[in-house]
Amino acid sequence: MRKYVIAFLGLAFLLSACRIESNIILDINEDGSATVGAEIGFDEEMLDLLMSQGDMDPSEIISDLPDLGGGGTEPIERTEGDMTYFGAKTDIDNLSTYDFGGLEGETFSEFSYEFDDASATLTAKVDATGVGDLGGGDLPIDPSEITGDIFSARVLVTMPGNVDESNADEVLSDGTLVWNLPFTGTKEIFVTSSFGTSGLNTIWLILGGILIVGAIAAIAAMTMSNKDSEKAVAEAAAEHQASAEGLRASEEEEVTGEEEELAEEEPDSGSESEL
């Protein structure tokens, strides 16, 4: 694939408005299986230029890709924004034992993937080759003059579960981790994630939280109910007391009335006695 990158990069450099992207793709599952792929993308202007050249067909990149191994290679041809990507991918059973075929020689100088029922760790190192040396010195390109607006090389990794720690340069909206590869020097890749048992613990924490909230709500309801009962008892007692006081006042009024009547009758009795 490098011979195409060299040619495409030369054109992109001469036509600075063009853009090229090169990606290594790792989409990893909890059981250690993964989809491994490699692709190269072109913006619309670059693609139109390549298609107008009879001897430079971007789709030929697929046949020139290294052997990915795995369960058979599938072509990649997709469009994202103004970029069109060509490449290949394959499904493998166990990433921890995968040797990357031709990819390792072109991309990773070191690669390790370890996992169990609850977590996974990926560590790797990329030794970048100076872009000016890709063609054995035949390509007149100064790496210091090449920017990300013209060319970028990336490693894209999707880890299983939740990412706990990583040194990725970027995280895409779908959770994909992105490492931008330098034109010279090395790039360290590190990421850990958790799943399985950790996910169950999260579920239990959520359920526990729901139970606690429910218990608090029940206690609050009982407290309110008790307060309402106490209020009702107090109101009933107050009504009973008011009724009793009213009854006593009524009885006192009746007694007072009778005494007054008796007092009015006593003088009349005296007068009759004197006669």
For the chain, give every domain's residue range: 2-195, 197-269
DSSP three-state, residue 95: helix
CB 197 within 8 A of CB 162: no
pLDDT score recorded for residue 99: 77
The 10s digit of each residue's pLDDT in 18-41 is: 788 889 999 999 999 999 988 888
CB 34 within 8 A of CB 27: yes
Q: Which residue has the higher pLDDT, 89 or 178?
A: 178
Annotate 64-89 with b (16+ C-beta within 10 A) or e (fewer): ebbebbbeebeebeeeeeebbbbbbb
CB 86 within 8 A of CB 65: no
Q: Which residue has the higher pLDDT, 97 or 255?
A: 97
**What percent of the chain is helix, strand and coil (3-state, nearest 5)?**
45, 30, 25
Sheet architecture: strand order including 162-166: 108-115, 119-128, 185-194, 162-166
> Among residues of the chain, what percentage have pLDDT more than 90?
24
